[in-house]
Amino acid sequence: MSGRLKEMGKEGAFLLKRKNWDRIKIKGMTFYGYHGVRPEEKALGQLFHVDLELMLDLQAAGASDRLEDTIDYAAVFAVVKAVVEGPPFGTIEAVATAVARRVLADFSRIGRVRVGVTKPQAPIPGILQGVTVEILRSQAWFRREK
């Protein structure tokens, strides 16, 4: 076993072996929140963009064409909205982690979730389109975090 696999443990080995995850992508969700480390960010707030990639088995949904066999996108959107528009975090890393935690908790059918949180008006003295944090979390991670 390579050094990288040893570092990742059993979960990492499983995730590397499974390369053909089915995916649902929900892109460009935009919310107003009060996240940031500076007082003005917490007082004034700003827009945040969230992209999700949900990894799960969609074979049953493809065969049955029934909502019950997949994930309700509107329900996922509501969960993300509740986190981003909810109590403030200092960093977008914490926002992304909270989104991943809630999505995995509320939708056990999802095996992994990739969360991207973009802060388009990050307080950086320069011209940029924003700062994005992207994380990848699994149900195994969520179970350890409980």
Output the six-digit token pair for 125: 């003295």
- Stated as kind and residue range, the H or E segment containing 9 is helix 3-17
The answer to whether the beta carbons of residues 142 and 104 sit under 8 Å apart is yes
Of residues 6, 42, 81, 119, which has the active-site annotation?
119
The answer to whether the beta carbons of residues 139 and 146 sit under 8 Å apart is no
Taking the alpha carbons of 24, 29, 35, 37 in that order, is the dihedral positive or negative?
positive
Is 119 in the active site? yes
Q: Catalytic residue numbers?
A: 119
